[in-house]
Homo-oligomer: A and B are copies of this chain.
Amino acid sequence: MRVRAYKLRTSGPSDISGLVDLFDRKQIRAEDVICIIGKTEGNGGRNDFTRDLAMTVFEDLFSRLLKISREEVTERIIFSLSGGTEGVVSPHIVVFAREGTESFEAASEKRLALGIGFTREFAPEEIGRLAQVEETARVISDVVRSLKVDSPSDIHFVQMKGAIPSYTWEEGEAARLSGNPMRSDMIYSRGASALGAAVALGEVAIEELSDDSICSDWSKYSRTASCSAKPGLTRTEIMVMGNSRYWQGDLVINGGILKDMIDADSVRSVLGGLGAGMEVAGQASAEQTARLVGIFGKSEADPRGEIRGQRHTMLTDDDISDTRYSRCVLASVVASVVGDTAIYISTRSEHHGPLGGGTLALIARVDEV
């Protein structure tokens, strides 16, 4: 089993020419595509229709190629499209395909392993509480097991689209009066998803957590999570990536946390941790940059209003959202190290690294195994 992955620049949200070209040149087959992660040039907010536009053309393409319905396309392939290409961020997609059959012999080298999973459906009152953390951790653990990694520390990236089940006004009032008000919103869903990853990978013990810890005890966090959340989604979609001796190919992944949004040294540390000549003192060389296939970061405007003791104004600017600023900031910093602006940057990082920090994962092309 192996993963093939390609980074494709797009000229707009509906540009699928790179993908069609990959299929035409038989680099990958449409039936092997397992997920597509990408940035579109919207605002990342409620009135960002660039993701809808991209989904419309993706669904149309795969529906035609695979001769299945649009609904079946989204059951089969996980799409993580994030709006907002602030600053230097270059609109692009990374397409992942999985080929071959399971290997039963461990190689000496580890290569990128990728698995996906889905939680059961959540009740709205479970979101942002231990029930969500536990179920998320359970599914991640199952996927991790299937990847046959040496240890949980070989897992470097857990990308999730978290559930936010809807509820009626009456249900909301009942919950409020019961003393357990609904938390079925983006903030709590992302936070609980991230803690689910932390629990699954042994970074946080479930016993250390209570409902009150979620979005409150910031000393508990994941080193691998990259979570969004989508209103109306009733189950969480999960992709797990790590390095395994049972997987072949020419890709490796590494991840880590950023202490704050200008923590370029940690970016260098994640880059160097890929091994295979990816270590850098300052900025990556053109040759190193060319080997990067995926760059995935989570950003945040420090909620305390300061970075390294100095005030920032991202949270008090009523013209431009902090979500747009923090994506711009972190993408600039990451690009200034890795030399590549095709960065999947996603914002708000509750329990993704320490407060005011975030997570970063990098995938690079190395020797074929």
A363 shortest CB reach to chain B, Å: 17
CA distance A53 to B330 in the complex (A): 29
Residue on B with the closest CB to A181? Answer: B181
In the complex, chain B residues whose CB is within 8 Å of the CB of A47: 41-42, 313, 316-319
CA distance A150 to B52 in the complex (A): 47
Our pick among B12, B326, B335 for the contact of A52 (Cβ within 8 Å) is B12
In the complex, chain B residues whose CB is within 8 Å of the CB of A46: 316-318
Residues of A within 8 A of B (CB): 9, 11-14, 41-50, 52-53, 56-57, 60, 85-92, 261-265, 268, 281-283, 307-308, 310-314, 316-321, 324-326, 328-330, 332-333, 335-337, 339-342
Please determine whether A43 and B318 come into contact, CB atoms closer than 8 angstroms.
yes
Please determine whether A332 and B341 come into contact, CB atoms closer than 8 angstroms.
no
Please determine whether A263 and B336 come into contact, CB atoms closer than 8 angstroms.
yes
Per DSSP, chain A at the interface is loop
**A12-B49, A88-B262 are known contacts. Are A41 and B313 too (CB-CB below 8 A)?**
yes
**A14-B56, A340-B310 are known contacts. Are A281 and B281 too (CB-CB below 8 A)?**
yes
In the complex, chain B residues whose CB is within 8 Å of the CB of A90: 307, 310-312
A183 shortest CB reach to chain B, Å: 14
Name the 10 nearest CB pairs between A and B, nearest first.
Answer: A45-B318, A332-B332, A264-B336, A90-B310, A262-B336, A53-B53, A87-B329, A333-B336, A329-B332, A46-B316
The listed residue with most B CB atoms (<10 A of its CB), out of A44, A49, A89, A330, is A49
Please determine whether A283 and B310 come into contact, CB atoms closer than 8 angstroms.
no
**A49-B50, A56-B57 are known contacts. Are A314 and B87 too (CB-CB below 8 A)?**
yes
Please determine whether A318 and B282 come into contact, CB atoms closer than 8 angstroms.
no
The listed residue with most B CB atoms (<10 A of its CB), out of A45, A57, A283, A337, is A283
A84 shortest CB reach to chain B, Å: 10
In the complex, chain B residues whose CB is within 8 Å of the CB of A85: 312-313
In the complex, chain B residues whose CB is within 8 Å of the CB of A319: 43, 45, 47, 319
**A52-B12, A52-B14, A88-B312 are known contacts. Are A282 and B307 too (CB-CB below 8 A)?**
no
CA distance A72 to B190 in the complex (A): 45
A9 shortest CB reach to chain B, Å: 6
**Other contacts beyond A308-B340, A318-B321: 4, CB < 8 A:** A41-B313, A85-B313, A263-B283, A310-B340
A343 shortest CB reach to chain B, Å: 10
In the complex, chain B residues whose CB is within 8 Å of the CB of A311: 9, 11, 90-91
In the complex, chain B residues whose CB is within 8 Å of the CB of A86: 320, 325, 328
**A283-B264, A335-B262 are known contacts. Are A313 and B56 too (CB-CB below 8 A)?**
no
